[in-house]
Amino acid sequence: MSKLSALLSGLVFGIGLLVSGMANPAKVLGFLDLAGRWDPSLMLVMGGAIAVGLVSFALVKNWPRALNGQPMQIPGNRQIDRRLIVGSLMFGVGWGIAGFCPGPALVALGLALPKALVFVAAMLAGMLLFQWRPGKS
């Protein structure tokens, strides 16, 4: 059940990215590039997603378990530290250069676009570099 649920969620997520136009890096850059003609669409995508998410997270707030019987795994970390900010800044720089964040990159990879393949390969390499970084805390 967990695998099927995750597959379904991934499918719906990807279709949402396609419907919203966010699977298209050119449209994402239309939002991130404030100096040109600015396309505010991304803000409404976040707004639509969060409007639904607010209800869902409120609904499950006191659930001990999900419907598959497993305990809910919602992050409890509330600390705003250097690692969070530096990592998010690095991510933002990469996002602003290419217009890709992880979800849309995987959708574009599904279409077997050569540039998406290169981006995803570099992204996975970045994740492995993080995993193997020296002196990790």
Partner 1 sequence: MTIDWLDFTPWSALAGGALIGLAATLMLVLIGRIAGISGILGGALGFPRGDSAWRWAFVAGLLLSPWVFRLAHPLPPVRIDAGYASLIVAGLLVGYGTRLGSGCTSGHGVCGLSRLSPRSLAATLSFMAAGFVAAYVAHHLLGVGS
- Binding to partner 1 (CB under 8 A) within 22-81 occurs at 22-27, 29-30, 32-42, 44-54, 56-57, 59-60, 63, 65-68, 70-75, 77-80
Cβ 62 to partner 1, closest distance in Å?
Answer: 13
Q: Which of residues 84-103 bind partner 1 (CB under 8 A)?
A: 84-103
Using CB under 8 A as the binding criterion, the count of chain residues that bind partner 1 stands at 115
In angstroms, the CA 11 to CA 49 distance is 15
Q: How many CB atoms lie within 10 A of CB 108?
A: 20
Is the dihedral angle over the CA atoms 93, 46, 63, 61 positive or is it negative?
A: positive
Q: Report the residue number, 4 or 135, with the smaller CB distance to partner 1.
A: 4
CB < 8 Å & 24+ apart, contacts of 24-27: 24/104, 25/98, 25/99, 25/100, 25/104, 25/108, 26/99, 27/99
Q: Which of residues 3-22 bind partner 1 (CB under 8 A)?
A: 3-22
Cβ 8 to partner 1, closest distance in Å?
Answer: 6
Cβ 43 to partner 1, closest distance in Å?
Answer: 8
Under a CB-based contact definition with an 8 Å cutoff, are residues 28 and 14 in contact? no
Contact between 129 and partner 1 by CB under 8 A: the answer reads yes
